[in-house]
Structure 1
Amino acid sequence: MTGNAFARPTRLLAAALFIAGLGAATAADAADRTIRIGYQKYGALILLKGKGTLEAKLKPLGVDVRWAEFQFGPPLLEAINAGAVDFGTTGEAPPIFAQVANPKLVYVANDPPSAKGEAVLVPANSPIKSLADLKGKTIAVAKGSNSHYLLVKALEKGGVSYSDIKPAYLAPSDARAAFQNGSVDAWSVWDPYYAAAEVAGARVLTDGEGLVTNYQFLLSDRSYVEKNADIIRVLLTELRSVEDWVTKDPKAAAAELSPAVGIPAPLLEKALARASLGVGPVTKEVAAQQQKVADTFLELKLIPKPITVSDALAEVSQ
């Protein structure tokens, strides 16, 4: 796991205060409510789903939990925007695109940076040896994903203009097929797809270390958060508990959760080893980093107008 041993207690304290500050409600207040959670094959929410503790904690409050899987972040946030999902997790780039479309989208919390959890990959026998070699190449990437931002920053480091590559905007499953059959020259992607490709022989051209932060964000609709602070409080408490368990024993966690999340234990363990867990409030520093992501996409004309990330922070008691 990434993170500084001295910084972790501070994060834990901040997270505890953050969770406690959301407040509580009576069972009568919560009766007959639902939380619809969008998750992906990465991040803490799929671990929470696999553990199965959230349902047990919310049942006494009369709250039903429903889960919906998404391949990547943008469709998940579109579902939140459309009112089909109440809560979900994505990397750093999807909320930028979603905020343009929906000013009601809010950041509720985030995990620490996991820069090593995504990478730009090439086939094992590829002639591409450096980031500069990506010029003129076709690169698979999920548009608006965290790895889209990684690709932008990797090209920048290699002295390659974004306009000098051919982006192939593909969902992970389609990108994997294109990568395997040689339809694309490289693939910018995150765990566990990254881990699976690596095990299959893909070569890492670069991971995100030194290029991106790769925060994982927990997001919702502002009105849902305002009306259901007690549900969010329980969810974050359970998420914290699962993350602590995974951090202490990732091998055992991978073995136990593998059947539930549908990822082979060795791949899940590899992905967990690159993750950084410790859910807490979105600080001003994190929001400032997100603003840099937004400004980068605006400069590349990938979003149509400027946004202010701080406008999308959930208003919760700290």
Structure 2
Amino acid sequence: MTLLQTLLRKVLPAAGLLTLALHPIPSFAQVTLGVSDWPGWVAWYVAEKEGYFKKYGADVKLVWFPDYMTSVNALSAGQIDANCQALIDTLSPVEKKVPAKVILVTDNSAGNDALMVSNSIKTFPELKGKTVGVEIGSIENYLAATALKMHGMGEKDVNFVNMSTGDAAAALIAGKVPAAGVWNPWIQRIQQHKAGHPLFTSKSAPGLIPDVVYARDAALAAHQKDFVGMTKAWFAAVKFIEANPMKAAEIMAPHVGLKPQEYALSLAGTKLFGAKLNLEAMSKSTAPVSLYVSTAATGDFLVSQKAITATPDPAGFIDAGIVKAAMKP
């Protein structure tokens, strides 16, 4: 729900997982939170820089993961206490009964994910029969499938070819494929090369790509005070970013090797969730922002991809208790 320069939805090799198991991530903090390259997660460094963790009594250690899926597997393996991850990558661990809960919604993608097409393609009917480079089973695959469905088409109307996000973008720039599912900074790079334009972005599908904090039950039970303080720090960081977007970009950009001006563009494509939006997202309703709605839609896609066998019940893995506690004076 980047800049997702390393957010390639691929499985961590067994050797890598073994390395994590043999060498747990050291930390003297009460709570370790996995963070990777996406504006809604890099935003935690604003909370750290501005002293919000200390202000709200949260003993938190941010653990940076260059490869996003490594963080997802690290959480499942018990190597960290909590992790920033997309809802789409959380439903499989939920089905596998990883003892954890979604305790916070950090953001929704609001333009940072896109179905990019060559300049010669202007409409969805023109996409019929064309090749789309996309990582199969990924967020970009899900976005493209949703876009097709919204325009009266199906996945069989195009030819999805499995490739990493970076390779798909490069192929579109080189004219080797007419369409690609990508996220920023690849969207910007394709446009800078004048090689294509967005036919559909996550901005046109509110609630489709939520990003969350997934925390292990044992850590929640042992360190509730720190999780509540951490969530208060998040709410404060969201207010800071909304009031000072360029200053926030200056804090965040160095963590991903970009210039603040570049990062500000990607930050604008991310809808950060403060306290009010979190309550709406974690409540059962028919609103697009609700995780109950997005879980149903995302689950249908993952079942169709045989990634999970059935859509989990959101009531079983969403816990709004930390958010509600953080909202108290």
Which of residues 123, 133, 146 is equivalent to 1:130?
Answer: 123
TM-score by length of 2: 0.73
Structure 2 residue identity aligned to 1:314: D
- 1:118 counterpart = 2:118: no
Instruction: Tell me how large the CA RMSD over aligned residues is.
Output: 3.2
Note closer, same or farther for the CA distance 1:140–1:239 as it changes in structure 2 (3 Å cut).
farther
Matched with 1:292 is 296
| Aligned 8 A contact 1:149 1:293 in 2 | no
Structure 1 outlier segments of 4+, above 6 Å: 59-62
Structure 2 segments unaligned to the other structure (5+ residues): 1-26, 325-329
User: Quick one: percent identity of the two aligned structures?
Assistant: 18
| Aligned 8 A contact 1:245 1:253 in 2 | yes
Q: Please, which moves more after superposition, 227-236 or 295-304?
A: 295-304
Matched with 1:243 is 238
Hey, what's the Cα distance between the residues in 2 that align with 1:69 and 1:298?
A: 25
Note closer, same or farther for the CA distance 1:96–1:243 as it changes in structure 2 (3 Å cut).
same
Hey, what's the Cα distance between the residues in 2 that align with 1:105 and 1:179?
A: 39
Matched with 2:8 is none
Matched with 1:156 is 149
Matched with 1:312 is 317
| Aligned 8 A contact 2:31 2:223 in 1 | no
Hey, what's the Cα distance between the residues in 2 that align with 1:159 and 1:216?
A: 27
Note closer, same or farther for the CA distance 1:64–1:49 as it changes in structure 2 (3 Å cut).
same
Hey, what's the Cα distance between the residues in 2 that align with 1:199 and 1:41?
A: 21
Hey, what's the Cα distance between the residues in 2 that align with 1:133 and 1:98?
A: 38
Counterparts of residues 58-77 of structure 1 (less than 5 Å)? 63=59, 65-72=61-68, 74-77=69-72
| Aligned 8 A contact 1:104 1:221 in 2 | yes
Shift of residue 231, structure 1, vs aligned partner: 2.2
Shift of residue 215, structure 1, vs aligned partner: 2.2
Matched with 1:39 is 35
Matched with 1:254 is 249
TM-score by length of 1: 0.75
Shift of residue 160, structure 1, vs aligned partner: 2.7
Shift of residue 206, structure 1, vs aligned partner: 1.2
Hey, what's the Cα distance between the residues in 2 that align with 1:113 and 1:64?
A: 23
Q: SS where residue 309 of structure 2 aligns?
A: coil
Q: SS where residue 217 of structure 1 aligns?
A: strand
Q: SS where residue 271 of structure 2 aligns?
A: coil
Shift of residue 226, structure 1, vs aligned partner: 2.3
Q: SS where residue 197 of structure 1 aligns?
A: helix
Structure 2 residue identity aligned to 1:204: P
Structure having greater relative contact order (Cα 8 Å, sep ≥ 6): 1
Hey, what's the Cα distance between the residues in 1 that align with 2:296 and 2:151?
A: 19
Matched with 1:205 is 199
| Aligned 8 A contact 1:38 1:69 in 2 | yes
| Aligned 8 A contact 2:58 2:230 in 1 | no
Hey, what's the Cα distance between the residues in 2 that align with 1:187 and 1:105?
A: 34
Matched with 2:268 is 273
Shift of residue 248, structure 1, vs aligned partner: 0.9
Which of residues 140, 162, 181 is equivalent to 1:188?
Answer: 181
Shift of residue 55, structure 1, vs aligned partner: 7.9
Q: SS where residue 121 of structure 1 aligns?
A: strand
| Aligned 8 A contact 1:179 1:186 in 2 | yes
Counterparts of residues 12-27 of structure 1 (less than 5 Å)? none
Structure 1 segments unaligned to the other structure (5+ residues): 1-30
Matched with 2:9 is none
Provide, for residues 23-55 of structure 1, a one-character-per-residue CA deviation record: whole Å limited to 9, x for no partner: xxxxxxxx9444333223223321222563388
Provide, for residues 60-90 of structure 1, a one-character-per-residue CA deviation record: whole Å limited to 9, x for no partner: 9794614122454x54322211223332223
Matched with 1:86 is 81
Shift of residue 212, structure 1, vs aligned partner: 4.5
Matched with 2:165 is 172
Q: SS where residue 43 of structure 2 aligns?
A: helix
